[in-house]
Structure 1
């Protein structure tokens, strides 16, 4: 029998001073059985960094032809394709051809520089792609905030992200790779 996803509820109070975006989002997140808290919270962070009324989670890990998050136009064109982790170049090529803009949030500590060195040349040709690294120790700290019912305040200013709950505060500094 296949394992089922674990459902998490999150209320995000987002104050993004860099984009002048201020909103509350009530989200239901399905954590795939093979997904850990780090990856799920990285997805939540990617949502907060790109939040809009039309940004949504997809089937993610269980579907090969969908990203972790996307934003579609009213005519169903993919405006924004968001991936997480260290995907194959072929997956990113497909994303670049299908979407107006592609964002990749890498994380994984020592694996990131190895992956980047291997793929840098191939990915440089995609003008619509931005790759941002999430420092591993910061992602690990963020994972500590994971709870089945989360109420998180997220402040973004000058590229720095502060995520706070009732119990803890985590500061992240995403850094562009390209």
Structure 2
């Protein structure tokens, strides 16, 4: 008998001062049986950092054809593809070929550095790829906030990120491994 996903509910109040984005999102998150609290919370972090009305969760671990999060336009074209963890070069290339922008959020401390040293030179040519590692202490503290029902506040200002609930607050440290090149805006 296959194990079913566990459903988590999150009310995410986002104040992204850097982007001028202020919104509350009521999210339903299906946590795959093999997914950890840490990974699920990194997905929430990725959502907060790229939040929009059209950003949504993919099927994630249960479907290899979908990312963890994605944003599609009205024609169903993928504008943004977000991966959490350490995808292989083939998956990164697939994402870069299908989406206008790709963001990867690896985590896990030393394992992230080992993974990145193995794929960095193979994916550097993808101009619209951004890779941002989540600090090990940050991801562990973030995992401690996980509950079946969550009310979280996210504040982003001057590149600093804070996530908390009613009793705890976590500073998130990100390490840019590969910034996406800025795309020119068409008039």
User: TM-score with structure 1 length normalisation?
Assistant: 0.99
Give the secondary-structure state (helix, strand or coil) at the position aligned to 2:38: helix
1:102-117 to structure 2, matched below 5 A, reads 102-117=102-117
Give the secondary-structure state (helix, strand or coil) at the position aligned to 1:141: helix
Contact 1:96 1:126 in 2 (8 A): yes
Aligned to 1:49: 49
Cα deviation, residue 134, structure 1? 0.4
What are the ranges of 5 or more consecutive residues in structure 1 without an aligned counterpart? none
Q: How far apart, CA to CA, are the structure 1 residues paired with 2:17 and 2:99?
A: 26
Q: How far apart, CA to CA, are the structure 2 residues paired with 1:66 and 1:162?
A: 28
1:1-178 to structure 2, matched below 5 A, reads 1-178=1-178
Cα deviation, residue 160, structure 1? 1.4
Count of aligned pairs between the two proteins: 178
What are the ranges of 5 or more consecutive residues in structure 2 without an aligned counterpart? 179-187
4+ long deviations beyond 4 Å: none
Q: How far apart, CA to CA, are the structure 1 residues paired with 2:29 and 2:42?
A: 12
C-alpha RMSD of matched pairs (Å): 0.6
Q: How far apart, CA to CA, are the structure 1 residues paired with 2:28 and 2:17?
A: 25
Q: How far apart, CA to CA, are the structure 1 residues paired with 2:160 and 2:173?
A: 5
Q: How far apart, CA to CA, are the structure 2 residues paired with 1:151 and 1:24?
A: 10
Q: How far apart, CA to CA, are the structure 2 residues paired with 1:108 and 1:40?
A: 13
